[in-house]
Structure 1
Amino acid sequence: MTWVAWRQQRAQLMVAFALVALVAAVMVFVRIDVSSMPGDQGQLSDRYNQFLSYVPMVMLVLPVLLGMFAGAPVFAREIEQGTHIFGLTQSISRSRWWATKLAVAGLPIIIAMATLGIVNAWALGPLNFIMSGRMRTPLFESQGLVLGAYTAVAFAIGATAGLLVRNTLAAMAITLGGYTAMLVVVSNAARPAYADPTYSTGLLPTDVWRVESGYLDGAGKPVSIAPEKCGMETIAECLAGQGVRSEFAWFHAGERFWSFQAIEAGLFAALTAAVLALGAWAVHRRLR
């Protein structure tokens, strides 16, 4: 069964490995190049500012692409072609047929993407200052443990959607929508609550992630401002004229990066398990 699953998925796996290896090679080159300019932040910013605007887009798209083109066809294509009947009539259980295909098609890709996330964290370490720290979106999603977790949930959505709708194109569309929705909800609603934010009214390091900020009056109470009332005076004079005496912020420090990465990876692992549980139900209850 394992050999059959490998023969069926080897083309997608080879393409996925080549794509991940290409991105990893670029990131290794970047780290080597950065290491040749130690401490020269001005030169690093000039050379890699535009590069860092593209890296997050690639890293956010890779998991969903792998989910769409490697996960969605795993079952949907077999059902469309009717070849699943042969597998289900052999001397193996439905659970083994389902689990083997998932393991052969999904685990190598997830491991490769998790490795790429670690490589990215190593390569981008000296460049995080350009985008004011790696706690903020989209640098947070571009490196570390979460890349493998994102790929796992995207693959699970694609494979399970294929079992439910039995159509490859429809499964791809569901993968794109489901992955995007999960990522947006988690990054905006869940991630700020992974830990209690720190409160400060003073200057903050550049690598912190502000989750809330505002202005205070002389009594230390929050005060709203109207930027449209500012004329030719400086920003400081405009704020002072509207009663502003200081700023406040709730933030997460850059030192929380790896703990937040672990929490989010665990959260997406739980979401993956829930999606796969739905797939296990579909194999036994809906697949004929």
Structure 2
Amino acid sequence: MTWLVWRRQRGALLLAAALVVVTVALLVVARLLLESRAAGLGDSACLVDPAQDCTGWGRGRELYDSFLWPHRFLQFWLWALVPLLGLIVAAALFTRETEEGTAGFVLTQSVSRARWWTTNIATTLLPALAGALVLTLVARWALAPFETLFRQGRIEPLGFELHGTWPLASVLISFSLAAALGTWLRSSLAVVVGTVLGWLVIFAVLLYTRYDILPTSVQVVPIGEFDGTADVDGMPRDMAFRGPAGEMIGSGQVGVGCGPQENYSACLQREGVTAAEFEYQPESNFWPLQLIQSGVAIILSAALLSSSYVRARRLG
């Protein structure tokens, strides 16, 4: 039975494997190019020491600008590819029988429905998870100097999605969605569209609730030290300003009278602002958030796969 499933799904599995191999090669080349360029500019410290400020003008800025967009591209590509692996291997897993009306023939053979469903799931899900694991491990190594150069924490969006247990949870969700929809719908296109939309909805909900799952931290910066940006060890959520008595000052009321050439910090002091307050999800919450959101993904996936199993037993 396993060999039969492999023969039917080998095109999808080989496509997924090819995408993983090409992406691994891109990641390795990107890191080697970054290290080579940094060595040529004499800025190798920018890739290993987060305390180094390589965003100012000069050769450090040249390194920063040269690899900003390649870094963004690699992040978005990995973010999209991981769930795509689950969709690729599961899109036609059950849809072929439901679409072509051959489910009755397949399910009246000597193999039980439970074994037919289990073998299909295991033969395709395990390679998809293995591919996601390979991408996660290679990305952790390849993107490390990029994250140091661009001062991006693992808990920030796109950093969070590429590390830890979430890539495995992401591919599990997309796979489960495609497998479930494949047993309920009779159109491959509908399965693909439904899986993409469903995954995006689940991802968006988890992303926008990430700030509220665990208590946030607050950092107060005296206005004399405020440079207009949040330099916190985590994922910024909100920023507020406070007056002499600790009262909250609305963002729309701050800096209204500041001139274009005036020092922003000095202007805010003149307006009576005493401090800028940053609320953020600290980097120390990375693993708790990973485990919580991955746990949610596992529960959702279990429900979807259960739905697929129940439906598969009634096909034909």
Normalised TM-score (structure 1): 0.90
Match of residue 220 from structure 2: 201
Q: Is the aligned partner of 1:283 residue 2:309?
A: no
- Range moving further from structure 2, 204-213 or 95-104: 204-213
Per-residue CA deviation, residues 233-265 of structure 1 (Å, 9 max, x unaligned), is 432244334432101122222343344333322
Q: 1:230 to 1:59 in 2, by over 3 A?
A: farther
Q: 2:153 aligns with which of 106, 129, 133?
A: 133
Q: 1:229 aligns with which of 256, 261, 265?
A: 256
Q: Is the aligned partner of 1:89 residue 2:98?
A: no
Q: 1:119 to 1:266 in 2, by over 3 A?
A: farther
User: Post-superposition shift, 1:150?
Assistant: 0.6
Q: 2:168 aligns with which of 148, 151, 156?
A: 148
Q: 2:292 aligns with which of 258, 263, 269?
A: 263
User: Post-superposition shift, 1:71?
Assistant: 1.5
- Range moving further from structure 2, 228-237 or 65-74: 228-237
Secondary structure, counterpart of 2:109 in structure 1: coil
Secondary structure, counterpart of 1:193 in structure 2: helix
User: Post-superposition shift, 1:28?
Assistant: 2.3
Q: Is the aligned partner of 1:77 residue 2:87?
A: no
Structure 1: unaligned runs, 5 residues or longer? none
Per-residue CA deviation, residues 124-175 of structure 1 (Å, 9 max, x unaligned), is 1222141532321122213332112111100110111111112111111100
Per-residue CA deviation, residues 163-212 of structure 1 (Å, 9 max, x unaligned), is 111211111110011000000110111x2234211122138755421122
- Range moving further from structure 2, 46-55 or 174-183: 46-55
Contact residue 63 and residue 154 of structure 1 kept, 8 A: no
Q: Is the aligned partner of 1:20 residue 2:39?
A: no
Q: 1:245 aligns with which of 237, 259, 274?
A: 274
User: Post-superposition shift, 1:33?
Assistant: 4.0
Q: Distance in 2 between matches of 1:225 and 1:187?
A: 24
Match of residue 218 from structure 1: 244
The percentage of counterpart residues that share the same residue type is 30
Q: Is the aligned partner of 1:11 residue 2:17?
A: no
Q: 1:224 to 1:205 in 2, by over 3 A?
A: closer
Q: Distance in 2 between matches of 1:143 and 1:21?
A: 18
Q: Matches of residues 58-69 of structure 1 in structure 2 within 5 Å?
A: 58-69=77-88
Q: 1:196 to 1:276 in 2, by over 3 A?
A: same
- Range moving further from structure 2, 191-200 or 146-155: 191-200
Structure 2: unaligned runs, 5 residues or longer? 47-53, 55-59
Contact residue 63 and residue 151 of structure 1 kept, 8 A: yes
Please provide the CA RMSD for this pair: 2.3
User: Post-superposition shift, 1:85?
Assistant: 2.9
Contact residue 181 and residue 191 of structure 2 kept, 8 A: yes
Q: Distance in 1 between matches of 2:249 and 2:5?
A: 63
Match of residue 39 from structure 1: 45
Q: Distance in 1 between matches of 2:163 and 2:63?
A: 19
- Paired AA for residue 199 in structure 2: Y
Secondary structure, counterpart of 2:244 in structure 1: coil
Which structure: larger Rg? 2
Secondary structure, counterpart of 2:106 in structure 1: helix
Contact residue 20 and residue 116 of structure 1 kept, 8 A: yes
